[in-house]
Every structure is written in C-alpha cells, then in structure tokens.
Amino acid sequence: MKFGTKALHAGVFPDPATGAIMTPIYQTSTYVQSRPGDHKGFEYSRTGNPTRSQLEASLASLENGKYGLCFSSGLGAIDAVIKLLNSGDEVICTDDLYGGSYRIFTKIFEPLGVIFHFVDMADISNVKAKINDKTRLIWVETPTNPMMKIIDIEGLSAFTKGTDMLLAVDNTFASPYLQNPLDLGADIVMHSVTKFISGHSDVVMGALVTKNTELNERLAFIQNSCGAVPGPMDSFLALRGIKTLHVRMDRHCSNAAQVAYYLRDHKKVDKVYWPGFEDHPNHQVAKMQMRNFGGMISFNLRSDTQQAAHNVISRTKVFALAESLGGVESLVGHPATMTHAAIPREERMKIGLSDSLIRLSVGLEDIDDIIFDLNQAIG
C-alpha cells in the first residue's frame, strides 16, 4: 500500500456500531464489563481508548512498524524511552537537539544517574568513539533542530545491531512521509505529533513506534503506569491531520526549497541551513534516507546579533512569531531565546547556534506571499 493510501486508511476502520467512516471520539473514562475481566478490549482509558488505539495503529503503519504508542506530548514520549534505562546507564545523544530534550536529559535524568554524552553525529565515528560497555541508548535527531544536521541512521544501526544498545530516532522534522528510521535499522521512532503529523497547531501529543514486541511491551507498561496519555479528542484531531499529511508535506517541501534559495542569495543573510543544498554537510545521506528535504530552514544574519534577529522576526506578517513548527501556517522563531533557551549559551555556540540564528517552519501559503514577507522583514 502506498503512503497516501495508508495515510487515509491504514489502522482505521468504520465504526462497527454505526458505520461512521470517521473514527468516533470515545469520550469515556471507563468501560462496562459483564463480569470481572470480561470486556470488549477496553477497561480504562488511561490503559486504552478506541480513538487512541486507531491512531496508534495508523502511526505504526506510516512508520512501517508493528506497534504505536501515543503520549500527552513529545516530551512524554521521550520520558518513556529514558525510563527504559537504569542509573549508571549511558546515552549518546546528538549535540544539536531540541531544547526540551536537552532539558529533560540534563535536569531530570542526569540527577537520577543516567549519563548523557552529546556528540556531533554528522560524523558517526564520533559516536563509535563514545560507545562503551555502559552504553544503552543512542538518541538521534535527523534533521536536527535547529542546525539541520543530517545523521546516517543506517550507519549508526551497524553499531547497535546484535547488542543490548537501542537506537532511537526523533523523526519529527522529517515526518513519516519523508523518512522511516525503522527501515534503516532504528529500534524506536519518536514523533512530536504536535508538529507535521497533526499539522494544524491544535494538538499537543507524542508517539513512539517500534517493530519489537518485547520493547513495545516495556514501553506500553511505562505508558500505562506513568499515565502520560492523550485524550480522545486530541487523538481524533491527530487522525484527521494524518489524512492530509502527504499532501501537506509536498507543499511544505516545495515552498521551503524556494525560500532556501531566496535566502541564500540575500545580501543580509550569512548562512542558510537546509539539507537540500548540494553542499550541505551529509547532503548525500539526506538524499539516501529521505524522500525530500522537509519544510524547516534555519539561517544566520550577517549582522550577527540577537537584536538583529529580533528585529527581523518582529516584522513578519505572514510568518507568525511563535513556538512550535509543522503547522499549515508559516512560523518563525528565535531558538536562542525560545525553543533552545534551556541550553547554556556556551553549549549552543559550540554547535553554531548563534544569537542571530532564525528558524523557519515554512507553511502552505502562496510562495509569493511568503517570499514577500521575508523580503520586507529582512529589509
């Protein structure tokens, strides 16, 4: 089944009671049993809800996995993965990653004894150099947030295959339409469903997908025990968003490509970070493991100051200045003071995340209006 067909049909089915073609919102906390343990597959909505179950099945199908689990946020999903570990276990992480991921790793789990190593995974030999007998997880973002680094998932899987290490990939920037890490050897795929999958800036949700039965059972136990689950209304909205994911992503990619080349030619712009450029580091890896280059772009201004960046992002009209990404509308942000403020400045500067870096989530508006807006904002 091709992706567009899966987006519309996989994992979902008409309501058996009424024939409703859209998955109903099962707004219930509990389910009647005829006698203890004799029920229709559901007992309590923290453990399972029919609306959420169809969403989880749909996401598993889109990622070519067997099992999907949904959480109340992307960080809720990340939290569940790290809870697979014990004190003294070590994790090798992408050095450029979402600020919330950095915060939960360093402020929540490091004090509990989990050790994190942040390395430049654009060269996977840096990962190999950090692996030891305590390494239990390799945590990857690709493309990374916000520097758009590309990491060779299949290359990393060679380090974990046949070992007790797990390879987990945050696939949020690419979405399942552009990249399927499980097919490249990853054990777990994580999504902030809030972003491209839902796609309409009206849901906060996370998800994990795996092919491994034992791993899914462990993660499902954590999901149920810790209770960070989404409600049925959010699950319904995410299912609705999935039905247009392939159509939206094509437009995101098309618009972003034109924006990237426009910015590259702008006299007030210094560097543009977009994996579609042939000279972008690991461009060939991106071509191999992605179907297109996505809707995310970051760039530096030649006037490399925070004030210069704030001036630009405060003047946009089409681009909304806001946290998040992946919605139908174009969004602009300043990572150093917004999404990545939790990362100390000295750590940000090491990876090139300067005070003038601007991140764009290029939306579905007419490209002429998008370019015009950037032109008037940058000046």
pLDDT tens profile 141-158? 999 999 999 999 999 999
Mean pLDDT of 238-248: 98
Is 46 catalytic? The answer is yes
- pLDDT tens profile 77-104: 999 999 999 999 999 999 999 999 999 9
Instruction: Reduce the DSSP state of residue 124 to 3 states and report it.
Output: coil
Predicted pLDDT of residue 173: 98
Decide if 98 is catalytic. Answer: yes
347 pLDDT above the threshold of 90: no
Give me the catalytic one of 79, 95, 96, 170. 170
CA separation for the pair 65, 72 (Å, rounded)? 21
For residues 29, 31, 36, 38, the Cα torsion angle rounded to the nearest 10 degrees is -140
Catalytic pick from 6, 52, 136, 195?
A: 195
Write out the two tokens for 127: 């990962």
Q: How many CB atoms within 10 Å of residue 113?
A: 11
Question: Which is the catalytic residue, given 15, 46, 120, 243?
Answer: 46
CA distance 45 to 23: 16
- CA angle (58, 59, 63) in 5-degree steps: 120
- Mean predicted confidence (pLDDT) in 168-172: 98
Q: What is the pLDDT of residue 37?
A: 84
**What local confidence, expressed as pLDDT, does residue 40 receive?**
85
Percent of the chain's residues with pLDDT above 70: 100
- With 90 as the cut, is the pLDDT of residue 304 above it? no
Residue 251 annotated to the active site: no
Angstrom distance (rounded) from CA 113 to CA 246: 41
d(CA 273, CA 107): 29
Angstrom CA distances, 377 to 253, 268, 318, stand at: 22, 11, 10
Of 6, 26, 52, 98, which is the active-site residue? 98
Q: What is the mean pLDDT of residues 299-311?
A: 94
Nearest alpha carbon to residue 319 among 308, 328, 332: 332
CATH numbers and ranges of domains, the chain: 3-242 (3.40.640.10), 245-378 (3.90.1150.10)
190, two tokens: 């994580």
CB 44 within 8 Å of CB 29:
yes
